[in-house]
Chains A and B, each alone.
Chain A
């Protein structure tokens, strides 16, 4: 299967600071990537669709000014949580879409964000 990496795997930051999370597809080019967040014992919630070379598409209720997404190349998307607050603490998972016969999203290992 394809490989998607995320960095960092965990981060602790203070309230009011910004945090950037990187998502890389290591062995294929991905014009489309996705960002999800997951609270403890809950399902994955899609936050936004990241499109290479264009603006991200955010799901309803997700603040685009708070969760900045940049898909600068075919292998890298970044999520920046701006002015983080404790309620932003969560597990953030990215995926990269590999088009083709299986048309499958490959998931990164996730980033655990704790805001103190």
Chain B
């Protein structure tokens, strides 16, 4: 059974101060990993789709990478700004099915 673990659960940081990383571990083979953003009271917004080992994608201050051998994906946040405050989820496609299994989510709070 595919399990997806995400950490940390909560990140609080001051704008522009440091870089942070969210980790997403999964337990069995998968061919696709997704990162989503969710604002309070809203649905999911797609950020990245990672398809192969070593894949790296960047959009603004967010960069996602995938290591399929370690079954690990990271979402790196560079010098966060308040607009990035949200909950971030990784989701892994269950191999040979169409299902997505979601991580627990990481709530990111960026204050001035």
Contacts and interface: CB of A to CB of B under 8 A. Distances in A.
Interface of A: 1, 32, 34, 41-46, 49, 93, 97, 102-110, 112
Interface stretch (B40-48, B60-68, B69-77): B40-48
B92 interface: no
Pairs of residues from A and B, 10 with the lowest C-beta to C-beta distance, nearest first: A110-B43, A107-B44, A43-B102, A109-B43, A44-B102, A107-B43, A43-B105, A43-B104, A93-B43, A32-B98
Contacts of B104: 43
B98 A49 contact: yes
A40 B62 CA distance: 25
B42 A104 contact: no
A47 B39 CA distance: 22
B84 interface: no
Interface of B: 32, 34, 36, 41-44, 46, 49, 89, 93, 98-105, 107
A112 B41 CA distance: 9
Given A102-B49, A104-B34, A104-B49, A46 B100 contact: yes
B1 to A, nearest CB: 10
DSSP majority for the A interface?
strand
Contacts of A104: 34, 46, 49
B43 A49 contact: no
Contacts of A46: 99-101
Nearest to A44: B102
B46 A1 contact: yes
A46 to B, nearest CB: 6
A109 B43 CA distance: 5
19 contacts: A1-B46, A34-B98, A43-B102, A43-B105, A44-B102, A45-B102, A46-B100, A46-B101, A49-B99, A93-B43, A93-B44, A102-B49, A103-B32, A104-B34, A104-B46, A104-B49, A107-B36, A110-B42, A112-B41
A93 B42 CA distance: 10
A49 B107 CA distance: 27
